[in-house]
Amino acid sequence: MSLGSDVCVVTGACGFLGQRLIRLILQEEKVAEIRLLDKTIKAQLLQSLNECRGDTKLNVFEGDIRDADFLRRACRGASLVFHLASIIDVINAVDPNEMHAVNVKGTQLLLEACIQENVASFIYTSTIEVMGPNPEGEPIFKGDEDTVYKSSLKFAYSKTKKEAEDRTLQANGEVLHSGGRLATCALRPMYIYGEGCQFLLGHMVDGLRNREVLYRTSLPEAKVNPVYVGNVAAAHLQAARSLKDPQKRNEVGGKFYFVSDDTPHVSYSDFNHVLMSPLGFHIQDKLMVPLRFFYIICFIWEMACMMLRPFCRVVPPINRQLLTMLNTPFSFSYQKAKRELGYTPKYSWQEARKNTVEWLADQLPKEREKLWRK
């Protein structure tokens, strides 16, 4: 089912995934209009998109996701919303109230704007972290949407994303002002990598500081299955097509789907090495300290930061929950998305790795120069 002459709103349009999704829509669909919604939108992005937009209109909406009037203006006359915008934080550096306001309240306001402005379809970008891992580090091997798991979410990020996801799915079937009904679904990607991934870039910079040796923070047996950004974008587009299809709309609406691909299952640390070894990087053989002592160090850091909180906000570089995430086997299948959405990875592992390594290779001399100047 083609999106045809749809008017699409993409929140978080300037983000890592947002840019990739917009390019894919322009490549594969002749939509009437794409509305880029973000706090600020750089002229360079618009210029690069203009080169491939064809007859599709690109309109900029700069503003705050917490502004209800702004969201109504952005949604007026639209038929489809891709809601990608959120605060991402895995070290608890962001104030929890700020995160809740953006991730939860912003999502609720956007859903309300869709209902008021008769937007038919709403796709929410969730995350694997709404599933866990839990503080006990209980593993999941090739889980699916029916996997039962005691999440016990601790991160403000994972809690707010789960609440926003729940609100999105609960809004499925809400009556629009026109009398139609809103259809919603949520996608839960694994850890997303690819060109533009700032997490990968940060690990590479840390490795440069450590004489081209990557730090090991994950045990080799703690295998996960990262997903390439191009395939996540493809899953979003396929979800939009499914929600537009009258025969699939009721089947897909109100559901969440895990999004992965055929990237090999490895630990987070070893995955960094897989991508950076062609650039001359090595990796530590073992954790810097045994895992049990690593937890003790994190606990001491956390307590010290808590004691300093009345005077200043200090955030430890790693905490116990993040350490658990990095050292828990946690992998999921994309088979339900394949069956119900028609999703299949657009890019093979070989293509994804090649594209990512080439991007990292392009960034390497720039990051070397930055460090040299310091």
Known catalytic residues are: 157
**Maximum CA extent, the chain:** 63
CA 83/CA 122 separation, integer angstroms: 7
The torsion angle over the Cα atoms of residues 171, 173, 174 and 178, rounded to 10 degrees, is 140
From 21, 186, 45, select the one nearest 107 (Cα to Cα): 186
Per-residue DSSP letter, 181: B
For the chain, the residue count is 374
Element (H, E) at 283: strand 282-283
Cβ contact 261:345 at 8 Å: yes
Beta bridge partners of 346: none
Cβ contact 105:147 at 8 Å: no
The pair of three-digit structure tokens given for residue 291, joined into one six-digit string: 């895992």
CA 297/CA 371 separation, integer angstroms: 28
Burial label, 201 (beta-carbon count in 10 A; 0-12, 13-18, 19+): middle
What three-state secondary structure class fits 237? helix
For residue 309, the number of C-alpha atoms closer than 13 Å in the C-beta half-sphere is 12
